[in-house]
Amino acid sequence: MSKNLKVGISIGDINGIGLEVIIKTLSDPDVYKYCTPVVYGHTKVASFHRKAAGIQEFSFQVVSDAEHAHQGKPNMINCWEEDVKIELGESNPTGGKYALLSLQRATEDLVAGKIDALVTAPINKHNIQSDEFKFPGHTEYIQEKAKGGDSLMFLMGEDLKVGVVTGHVQVKDIVKGISKEAIVSKLRLMDQSLRKDFWVEKPKIAVLGLNPHAGDNGLLGTEEQEIISPAIEEAFNEGIFAFGPFPADGFFGKQAYSKFDAVLAMYHDQGLIPFKSLSFNYGVNYTAGLNVVRTSPDHGTGYDIAGKNMASPTSFRTALFMALHIVRQRREQEELQENHLPFSKISKDRD
């Protein structure tokens, strides 16, 4: 297995902090010991951001194709030819247009196997909408392009891993997305990812309730009794060590998550508010359940600090190394299986 993997990077909204955190990450020479980065954008746009952020002595090596990327250097594929007007801190159609051009080319190469993994810088989910992008976010777009089935938005931090049953949906539509089948599907994906991508031999998963106090025995809602508990029982019967449903407030307040390998929340904010409270600036969003590897930082476009040299690259750098880690874990496990070596004797927990 090659030590130096090829990782693609989409630049996100050109008016945000994406290229700033990308350049700061790739300015670290240690990065090139582990991967060959290929950024999808344009060198003129990258130069503008480098100068705006006051970053000195950094330049990309222009290549026409990911297969021609140079090891030991930051590579750039120019995804358009025209000059682009950059308006730092502004949300406008221009930012969405070029974010999509970058993402399209990067995703095509990911699916074609020209890159080993993809790290996506933040997009604006509103200005990127078009006839070619009618998705709530990166996760759903990449899921369709990779022709995968269900996928899991899986947030990774040092002390907490959180997945969600319903992702980017309106609050009024959350209950519509909560079903026994949906919960069991997400539990399967989470269990498989923990085993395959993070080498947790017997993952323990906590499942949160939907209603306050997990329904309080039906007084505050019946979804826990009618949907969530039966889903947990079905998953447990399949060999998935799922427990709950737990009241979300007490669960996080008592730090009960420390007793589990991951947590399945029912909806976006239920899981992401505590996650970002604990892991902001170094958390990673991972799209689990696909045959390709995609990660992203856990922050947004950062319009308010764009071009001010204030953006921290920590989360983006963590996302980059997380992607490399997952690719290697998958490939090493495949090699072990090809040699008929039992997983349990190799590692109890490589996470």
**Which range has the worst mean pLDDT, 20-29, 32-41, 68-77, 139-148?**
139-148
Question: Which strands sit side by side in the sheet containing 35-41, from one edge to the other?
Answer: 61-62, 75-78, 35-41, 5-10, 117-120, 294-297, 284-288, 152-156, 161-164, 262-265, 204-208, 241-246
Is residue 340 scored above 70 in pLDDT?
no
Q: What is the pLDDT of residue 349?
A: 44
Q: How confident is the model at residue 192 (pLDDT cuts 50, 70, 90)?
A: very high
Q: What is the pLDDT of residue 337?
A: 72
Q: What is the pLDDT of residue 351?
A: 41
Domain ranges of the chain: 1-148+290-351, 150-285
Q: How confident is the model at residue 343 (pLDDT cuts 50, 70, 90)?
A: low
Q: What is the pLDDT of residue 282?
A: 84
How confident is the model over 281-289, as a mean pLDDT? 90
**Which range has the worst mean pLDDT, 52-56, 96-100, 335-339?**
335-339
Q: What is the pLDDT of residue 345?
A: 42
How confident is the model over 194-199, as a mean pLDDT? 94
Q: What is the pLDDT of residue 4?
A: 84
Which DSSP helix (H) or strand (E) runs through 327? Answer: helix 314-338
Q: What is the pLDDT of residue 334?
A: 80
Q: What is the pLDDT of residue 346?
A: 45
CB 266 within 8 A of CB 230: no
CB 37 within 8 A of CB 75: yes
Is residue 178 scored above 70 in pLDDT?
yes
- Whether domain 1-148+290-351 has CATH 3.40.718.10: the reply is yes
Q: What is the pLDDT of residue 108?
A: 97
pLDDT > 70 in the chain, percent: 96
Q: How confident is the model at residue 136 (pLDDT cuts 50, 70, 90)?
A: confident
| Class (C level, CATH) for 150-285 | alpha beta
| pLDDT digit string, tens, across residues 239-273 | 999 999 999 999 999 999 999 999 999 999 999 99
CA angle at 152 for the pair 149 and 155, rounded to the nearest 5°:
160
Same fold, 1-148+290-351 and 150-285: yes
